[in-house]
Amino acid sequence: MKTWSTALISAPALALSVGLAGLPRGGVAAENAPSGDVAIPAEVHAQGEKLYKKNCRFCHGTKGTSGKRLSGNEKLVDADYVAHVILVGPGYMTPFAEHLSDEEIALIVTYVRNAWGNAYGPVAAEDVAQLR
């Protein structure tokens, strides 16, 4: 199982695509546990939040506590899993593959993994691209 640490490997691409320049490359524990010390730039967070509210809120809620719970959901540790879910839409979830770009999905994945007390670190657009 791949974890968010793939995001570290591709940090330059990430910085390019979602404007994550200045993201700390060190200090993030590459293990399947909330690290709690990943600083997601406010602007990236805000972009992700906007996309989340538009595309995900009406099923998962503003706080990630509706429908399938995203707040405190340990499955979000696996960034590839989150991106995959967004692409294909399991159950009655909408599949977004045709409608959101890799960049947009990366912003959303980064947001849900680091909002509401979640702290699983960022994801890069190129990681999303690999899952298509």
Partner 1 sequence: MKRTSWLLATSFVALAAALPVQADNIADYTPVTAERLAAPEEGNWLLTRRTYDGQAHSPLTEITTGNVADLKVAWSLPTGPYAKLSDFAALPARPAHQAPALVNNGVMFMTTPDQQIIALDAASGEEHWRFRHDLPSDIIPVHPTNRGVALWEDKLFMATLDAKVVAVSAVTGEKLWEATMENWENGYYSTLAPLVVDGVVMAGTSGGEFGIRGFVQGFDANTGESLWKTYTIPSPKEPGGDTWPGDTWKTGGGSVWITGNYDVKNGLAMWGVGNAAPWIGDMRPGDNLYTTSTIGLDPKTGEIKTHFQYHPNGNWDWDEVVPPTLMELDGQDLAVRFARNGWIYKLDRTDGHFSFVDGRPYVYQDVFTELNSETGRPSYRYEKVAGTGKRASFCPSAWGGRDWPGDAYNPGTATLFISVNENHCGSAEGAVVEYEPGVLYLGSGLEMYPTEDAKDHIGALQAWDIRTLKKKWQVNFKMPNWGPVLSTEGGVVFVGGTGDAMFRAFDAETGDMLWSREMDGGIIAPPTSFEVDGKQYIAVTTGWGVDGDRFQGFIDAGMGTETKIPQGGTIWVFAL
The CA-CA-CA angle for residues 75, 27, 129, to 5°, reads: 50
SS3 content of the chain, % helix, strand, coil (to 5): 50, 0, 50
In this complex, which beta carbon is closest to partner 1, that of residue 48 or of residue 121? Answer: 48
Site string for ligand HEC, 4-43 (x = CB under 6 A): ----------------------------------------
How near is the Cβ of 95 to partner 1 at its closest, in Å? 5
97 touches partner 1 (CB under 8 A) = yes
d(CA 32, CA 17): 25
Among 54, 72, 74, 75, the residue binding partner 1 under the rule CB under 8 A is 54
